[in-house]
Structure 1
Amino acid sequence: MKKKLLGGLLSAVAVAGLLAGCGNKDAVDAEKNEVKIGYFPNLTHIATIIGLEKNYFGEEFGEDIKITTKTVSNGGLFMEAMASNSIDIGTVGPGPIINYFVKDPKYHIVSGAVNGGAVLVADGDSDINELSDLDGKRIAIPVIGSTQDVMLRKALKDVDLKAKVNGGSVDLFAAAPADTATLFIQNSVDGAATQEPWGYILQNQAGGKLLLDWEDFAWGKESTNTVVATSDNFLKHDDLVKAYLSAHAKAVQFVRDEPEEAQALVVKHIKDLTGKELEAAELEAAFSRIEVTTAVNEDVLQEMADISQEADYIKTNDINGLIDLKVINEITSK
């Protein structure tokens, strides 16, 4: 009997300890003291860059929160980093987060960041003069399933063309945007769907010709290029989410109010990161092709999901729950 009582007592203690451990873990989570911000070192992530350069994130989070940053070169890497908890929140194209959300609906878009910022450029030596001329051509995209990939598919659909992999005639070739100028010079591709400032560089340094400007490519000014993405884990921290989005809203407003200073800060930031300095002319031209915003066009994102499903990138186009704009709407409505 004593053994049974002792065993029961030990079991109760073990359960109590386990519950206490869970409680401690929750307490630690509730007292999160580090925020890991992710972004790309390019112009379409200008809101994040300005938020860092102007210390808006630092001001909103306060001195008790450590801010670390992680830069990546494409949306797939961004989402992989978020999935492994190397990124808590940051800016990415909607294409990659849609691809991840339909497999695991714990990821969310909590604000817009940039509309536009993407163009379709043809090789100057090609016979491409209009969209229908892409029939049988090879067009570079940043990565399979990227936002520019989906935008290109939208544009092709409008002239009854499809990607070769889906039974059409247009060969989509994945290549890092920084490599597309070399591909143009080598005549390895006939064009590129790319983000800024690479579109400007293709035009002015690689003999490219603009086929569709940002106002005409895919959804035009409504083309959602970059959004703020996060996961369920970070959304549990209401104060941190509000702090991040408050800083993000400040950064968006600063870019609108002080475009010249914003451009100078982007040049500095990218040079500090990569050692490469963007020319003022290319930055100014590229800057004219973006629109910073906290808004999100949900109809456009749904159509992007539809196109991704047609391309066999995702099994379903159901993105119900992906977009959560409650906090950013509260901030911007004040």
Structure 2
Amino acid sequence: MNRKLMVLGLISLLVLAIGTACGKGDQGTVGSKEVNIGYFPNLTHMATIVALEKGYFAEEFGEDIKINTKTVSNGGLFTEALVTKSIDVGTVGPGPLLNLYVKDPNYHIISGAVNGGAVLVASEHSNITSLEDLDGKKVAIPVIGSTQDVMLRKALNDVGLKPTSNGGTVELFAAAPADTATLFIQKSVDAAATQEPWGYILETQANGKLLLDWESFAWGKESTNTVVAATKNFVSNEPFMTAYLTAHTKAVDFIKQNPEESQDLVIKHIKDLTGKEINKEELQAAFAHLEVTTSVNEQVIQEMADISKEADYIKNSDIDGMIQLDQLKAIESSK
């Protein structure tokens, strides 16, 4: 009997040890020797791109931490990568992140990245000259639930219009920004709510007419285009948070002080990554329509959540706790 008890005791200890080991593994970023950074290979993610190109992340994390990067093409893929732990931190539009947060409050905004950078362009054939003229029209957006989708809904609401999905008269049509010029030429859509440089391309290559520029569309200069998002585990890892945010703020400062060199770095990075070279004139025009920043307008983010709820993208708009800026403020105050 004693031998049986001894065996059972040893088994219990083994199970406890395995359970404890699994618990440590579930902590993700905490205690990790790697950091996984996600971003889109485009201009509005230039803070991440510049931080990579200038070696700021490598410098701040140190040689003992391996830096992995993952590029995605839209916010849905970014949030999926967060959930599956393919990435720990990176840049994304606030729309997809707040949609995720309402379902699972384990993901946070830890800094701003880019404001503006989005425009509303009407096609040549549409005869649209004002927001009111969008009544009965079809408007392209990058992805349902995207930041530009939410911005368009605000603009429509300001003039008493609604999308057809909410009982209104304006049809929203999801299409990749790179395809919108073709859609304009084919007369398949009447307008597009899109990010730069695609707005500039619509104007110069598809005879589009700028209906709302970046200073007028939705919240104007306070329109949050891109933020830094992170998992709860990453946020709880103070050394990693300090390293990332220090590198991020360095990149933001560099871009503000060296706009032309920063644009060259973006062109180089995207060419190295995709083999495609961005037109420098298009990039310069797009850069003039955005503001690189670490600030986050919490009121704007809340209004975006309210609009997403109204659109039935989320069940409620309670995002209390999503924005975590204490570490960013500490870093900036120590400069």
TM-score by length of 2: 0.96
Distance across 1 between alignment mates of 2:327 and 2:123: 44
**Residue aligned with 2:285, SS:** helix
Task: Name the amino acid aligned to 1:330.
Answer: A
Which residue does the alignment assign to 2:85? 85
1:126 aligns with 2:115: no
CA distance in 2 between counterparts of 1:217 and 1:237 reads 37
What is the deviation of 1:119? 0.3
Aligned position for 2:318: 318
What residue is the counterpart of 1:201 in the other structure?
201
Match status 1:327 vs 2:309: no
CA contact (8 A) 2:111 2:295 kept: yes
Residue aligned with 2:103, SS? coil
Question: C-alpha displacement at 1:10, in angstroms?
Answer: 2.4
Deviation at 1:269, TM superposition (A): 1.1
Residue 274 of structure 1 and its aligned partner are, at CA, apart by 2.1
Compared with structure 1, are the counterparts of its residues 24 and 145 closer, same or farther at alpha carbon in structure 2 (3 Å cutoff)?
Answer: closer
Task: Give the 3-state SS of the residue equivalent to 1:187 in structure 2.
Answer: coil
Residue 261 of structure 1 corresponds to 261
Task: Specify the SS of the correspondent of 2:242.
Answer: helix
- The corresponding residue for 2:170 is 170
Percent identical among aligned pairs is 67
Instruction: Name the amino acid aligned to 1:249.
Output: T
Moved more, 192-201 or 271-280: 271-280
Equivalent residues in 2 for 1:255-334 (5 A)?
Answer: 255-334=255-334
Alignment partners' CA distance in 2, 1:163 and 1:279: 34
**Structure 1, 305-314 or 231-240: larger mean CA deviation:** 231-240
One-letter amino acid matched to 1:215 = E
SS of 2:276's equivalent in the other structure is: coil
Counterpart mapping for 1:138-287 below 5 A: 138-287=138-287
Structure 1, unmatched stretches of 5+, are: none
TM-score, reference length from structure 1 = 0.96
CA distance in 2, matches of 1:14, 1:86: 30
RMSD: 1.6
**Aligned equivalents of 1:27, 1:299: Cα separation in 2:** 32
**Is the 8 Å Cα contact of residues 107 and 322 (structure 2) preserved in structure 1?**
yes
1:260-294 CA distances to partner (integer Å, 9 max, x unpaired)? 10111111111222222222211111100010110
Q: Given residue 37 of structure 2, which amino acid in structure 1 is its aligned partner?
A: I
Q: Which moved more, 1:4-13 or 1:47-56?
A: 4-13
Q: Is the CA contact (8 Å cut-off) linking 2:122 and 2:128 kept in structure 1?
A: yes
Contact 2:29 2:234 in 1 (8 A): no
Q: 1:137 to 1:27 in 2, by over 3 A?
A: closer
User: In the aligned structure 2, how far is the partner of 1:207 from the partner of 1:27?
Assistant: 52
- SS where residue 218 of structure 1 aligns? coil
The 3 A distance-change label for structure 1 pair 129 and 55 is same
**Partners of 2:11 and 2:268 in 1: CA distance:** 61
Q: Deviations over 1:51-71 (max 9, x none)?
A: 011111110011111111111
Q: What amino acid maps onto 1:85 in structure 2?
A: K
C-alpha distance in structure 1 between counterparts of 2:205 and 2:295, whole Å: 34
- Match for 1:286: what amino acid? A
1: distance between equivalents of 2:33 and 2:53?
Answer: 21
SS in 1 for 2:77: helix
